[in-house]
Amino acid sequence: MDRFDYRGGRLYCEDLAAADLARRFGTPLYLYSAGTLRRHYRRLASAFAAVEPLICYSVKVCPNIHIMRVLRDEGSGFDIVSGGELHRVIVSGGDPATCCYAGVAKTDDEIRFALRAGILLFNVESEAELENLRRLAAETGTPARAALRLNPDVDPETHRHITTGKKENKFGVDLERAERIFRDFADAGTGEHVALTGVQAHIGSQITTVKPYVEALEKIVALIDRVRAAGHEITTLDFGGGFGADYETGEALEAEAFAAAILPVIEGRGLKIIMEPGRFIAGNAGILITQVQYVKPGGDRTFLLCDSGMHHLIRPALYGSYHHIWPLEPGEDFVPEQRTRDESFPGTQAVDVVGPICESTDFFAKNRHLPPVVRGDYLAVFCAGAYGMAMASEYNSFPRPAEVLVDGAQARLIRRRGTYDDLVAPEKDV
């Protein structure tokens, strides 16, 4: 799952004690394991080796350029959704020619930037976007390659806010409309500027069963067969990402389980395969460390008031998401055997873990059983590598946390802690 484990009653990230790093770098602190990033990338590459996929790490999940460099060195391409993410790829030393550009509302400036950079593929979401891409490609004299994003109307059996492949979602086009788009595009003779030779689909996130992928891909390959039979060239299939992470021990499927179900549907069709994993690679690779400022009895509960909250990890407030939380140094009597929401062995106490933000939704956990905790103790919020720092804000004028990357016995700062000056810098001298 990851390289965060307890030894002698203390949490370690690879070869380093997490509490030592919290004292060295301060809190709140995002702490990442390079070994976990590599392990998950390699498991995917090995599991799907039969189709030699281009694995494009989803930058939106955890966009720190140093994280991206770890994956670039493994051979990863990048899934991007904005011009800013393309800029991150370039700054990280990634190759734009390995980038797939998704997103439903790309601006003209973003498209021009991507055309100049020479990205691999635009994932277009509508007829209007395809026409605009054709216009800008002609205007700049830069041919573009495109895949049409499909909406296969499949239930990914995940949280309703992170589904992207059902007909009520804003993403992609339905399969019947897709056939018309391929036909109309060919009839218009616009292939001189845009090569529409791919299809793409991304049905959701934190998916922990193979059924939705099989259902979606069976529909998609049938569409590919029909489009090819009508005389249109399809060379690329990008089936997105969405594989789940282990928020609880054993929640997510292994890469091999997904591959066993997916490969029989897509092998032998003469298609270049692209995957866009994010959470599967980075989710378990990061934790958020927060320090308890006060222990406050209140009514029928006890609050642990921490120096981090929804402004640094919004998922519990936004999605009601579960993150395992445990002290960095609980002692040997309180080392959990696994990460589960039902953890309540003798000696624990039910508490609410909350932050400093002036919102009642500012919490990491409610009615959670934890070992005895006092002011100054450090807590780890596990599986925070995906959509953690990426969605952090400066709400209530709290600076953003620092980020540290551990690789074996080495730890290095990969983003400095925000300062009060950072809060006002964009507002000064304007």
Active site residues: 358
Residue for token digits 């925070």? 384
Report which of 183, 290, 189 is spatially closest to residue 228, judged by C-alpha positions: 183
Report which of 48, 52, 13, 15 is spatially closest to residue 32, judged by C-alpha positions: 13
User: Among positive and negative, which fits the CA dihedral 171, 175, 177, 179?
Assistant: positive
Angle at 268 (CA atoms; ends 267, 270), nearest 5 degrees:
110
Question: Residue 10, SS3?
Answer: strand
Q: Let me know: does 244 contact 212? Beta carbons within 8 Å.
A: no
DSSP β-ladder status, 286-298 and 29-33: antiparallel
Q: Which tokens hold the place of 285?
A: 């690779």
Report which of 425, 362, 366, 364 is spatially closest to residue 395, judged by C-alpha positions: 362
- Dist CA 47 CA 229 (whole Å): 31
- Dist CA 158 CA 147 (whole Å): 25
- Identify the bridge partners of residue 364 per DSSP, sorted by sequence position: none
- Dist CA 389 CA 402 (whole Å): 9
Q: Let me know: does 22 contact 378? Beta carbons within 8 Å.
A: yes
Report which of 252, 152, 160 is spatially closest to residue 210, judged by C-alpha positions: 252
* Secondary-structure percent of the chain, ordered helix, strand, coil, rounded to 5: 35, 25, 40
Give the number of other CB atoms < 10 A from CB of residue 268.
9
Q: Let me know: does 423 contact 399? Beta carbons within 8 Å.
A: yes
Gyration radius of the chain's alpha carbons: 23
Residue for token digits 């799952």? 1
- Dist CA 229 CA 96 (whole Å): 32
